[in-house]
Amino acid sequence: MAVSIDIDALRDAAGPMVCAAADELQAAGQPVVPTPVGGGVSVVFRAAGQPPREVWVGITADGFTAECDCALDEELCAHAVALTATALDGGFAWSSSAIPPSVVAIEPRVAELVEVAGSISARRLALLVAEWAATDRVLESRLRSQAGQLASLSAAELAGIRRTIDNLAHDATSGNRWDLHDVERAGRAIVEEVEVLAQRPPTQETLLLVERAARLWDGLSGYLNDAWETYEEEPAEIGGALRAVHVQLCEQVQPDPEELAARLVAIVEAAEVDSCLDEPEDYLAVLGQQGVSALRHRR
């Protein structure tokens, strides 16, 4: 369910000094492009001579919630106020059940490595990440995305990625000498393509392309399901990675809930066995509880 935010009440709660700083940020063109995340909205503020500041705002069970890494004592910082005002000006649809980044579960191993990373100097950490990104397309794309270097894909670029994904799916079972390893390898290659794709500014076109990739994997995964003794985990692993990208893009693009639900039903019904997108609860932030319940009963 969508809710509204009273910006005047928010500014009163923030105080004149914070609001003045927020107005200066907006006058300087910040934030640039807020991104929907978990039913709220997030952005990274970038200013010359200052470290980037990532902030998230949304409506949770506790009311208006803001999280910012500027580490100020105030609950409402200038970054949060400026982001909220910009999102309101852009007509952002606020969810009543947003999920802030701080409550998203982090795997213990990841949490441990976050602490390790925090103990390294910024220069050495940057070098370490750059060395790894030079050998990993997905990480390089994520790195460039976080730095704001990636532009939206052109129609020609989208068409090229579509051909690549189609060819990967087709070649996996073409000819007389293919085997199940070819199917697994194609699935992982498709995941890599969509994960790189998802680092670009999100659009409806990229969302539909990921749905195409999910349909193609649904068609291929049956071969591995039939050989479950050997490929017990791979179908769910590859399908789960595709679904994670799709959910991420849905939260960012915020498609019409009814249209999204209709497309999900069509994808699920078209799958010969199980569709990798057949997890309604994963779409809670986009469809809401009623939409998830309706989708569950329409399958």
Residue 291 pLDDT class (50, 70, 90 cuts): confident
Find the mean pLDDT for residues 138-146.
Answer: 94
Residue 1 neighbours by CB distance under 10 Å: 11
pLDDT of 36 > 70? The answer is yes
pLDDT of 89 > 70? The answer is yes
Residue 96 pLDDT class (50, 70, 90 cuts): confident
Residue 32 pLDDT class (50, 70, 90 cuts): confident
The predicted structure's pLDDT at residue 176: 85
Contacts of 244 (CB under 8 A, 6+ apart): none
SS (H, E, C) 241-284: HHHHHHHHHHHHHCCCHHHHHHHHHHHHHHCCCCCCCCCHHHHH
What ranges make up the beta strands (E) of the chain? 2-3, 35-37, 40-45, 53-60, 63-68, 94-95
The predicted structure's pLDDT at residue 52: 83
Find the mean pLDDT for residues 1-15.
Answer: 86
The predicted structure's pLDDT at residue 287: 87
Nearest-angstrom CA–CA distance, 268 and 18: 49
Find the mean pLDDT for residues 186-200.
Answer: 97
- pLDDT tens digit sequence for 213-239: 999 999 999 999 999 899 999 999 999
Nearest-angstrom CA–CA distance, 192 and 198: 10
The predicted structure's pLDDT at residue 299: 61
The predicted structure's pLDDT at residue 251: 85
Residue 157 pLDDT class (50, 70, 90 cuts): very high
* Single-letter amino acid, residue 11: R
The predicted structure's pLDDT at residue 71: 64
Closest CA to 59 of 116, 4, 133, 16: 4
Token pair for 82: 């400026």
For the chain, the average pLDDT equals 91
Nearest-angstrom CA–CA distance, 176 and 205: 35
The predicted structure's pLDDT at residue 74: 67
- pLDDT tens digit sequence for 161-184: 999 999 999 999 998 889 999 999
The predicted structure's pLDDT at residue 8: 93
Residue 284 pLDDT class (50, 70, 90 cuts): confident
| DSSP-assigned states of every residue in 113-131 | HHHHHHTS-HHHHHHHHHH
Residue 1 pLDDT class (50, 70, 90 cuts): low
Nearest-angstrom CA–CA distance, 23 and 16: 10
Number of H helices, E strands in the chain: 12, 6
